[in-house]
Each structure stands twice: as C-alpha cells, then as structure tokens.
Amino acid sequence: MDKEDLLSRTKRFALDIINFIDFLPQNNKGVIISRQILKSGTSVGANYRAACRSKSKDDFIYKIKIVEEEADETLFWLEIINEASLVSNQ
C-alpha cells in the first residue's frame, strides 16, 4: 500500500461516511451521533493528508497518531450505531 492508495482510500472513506449518515434516524440520538461520526470519519483523510506534508519523521509520527485516533473514534461510533440498532443491517 502506497501513499497515493491511502490518500484515495481515506478520501473514499470520508465520502462513505458522509453518505452513511443519511441512514441514521433524525431524532436526538441520530443527530448527535451523525455529528460525531461525520467529524471523526472525515478527519481521517484530512489528517492523513496533513501527515503526508509533515516536516520531519517526528512530525509525521505525531500526525499519523492523530489519524489513528480519529479512525479508532470512528470505529467506536460505528460499533455504537450497530449495537444500538440505529440503522438496519441492509
């Protein structure tokens, strides 16, 4: 996996998250979780792009850790959505 592949995949992930939130219910739970997952899911790609422009190896490591944290937060929200049955499995 190379840099261009990850740039493309993280951008596609952000677009998938943007489209996915339309399936969440438009009640308090859905709206709050939509905001959370939209912020974390789209920041994965944005922060990866920032990491690719890092000024040093240490700067890259710092920025990649942010990518990892945002991806993990997104996974958390996806697990919550699934376990709370906020969307159908279709």
CATH T-level assignment (fold) for domain 3-21+31-83: de novo design (two linked rop proteins) (1.20.1440)
Half-sphere exposure of 69 (CA within 13 A, CB side): 7
Residue 38: CB partners within 8 Å, gap ≥ 6?
17, 18, 21
The pLDDT of residue 88 is 82
Q: What is the pLDDT of residue 90?
A: 62
- pLDDT, residue 11, reads 98
Helix (H, G, I), strand (E, B) or coil at 79: helix
Q: What is the pLDDT along the chain (90 residues), one digit of tens a residue?
A: 798 999 999 999 999 999 999 999 999 999 999 999 999 999 999 999 999 999 999 999 999 999 999 999 999 999 999 999 999 876
CB–CB of 49/67 below 8 Å?
A: no
Place of tokens 């596609």: 12
Residues 87, 23 contacting (CB under 8 angstroms): yes
Residue 16: predicted pLDDT: 98
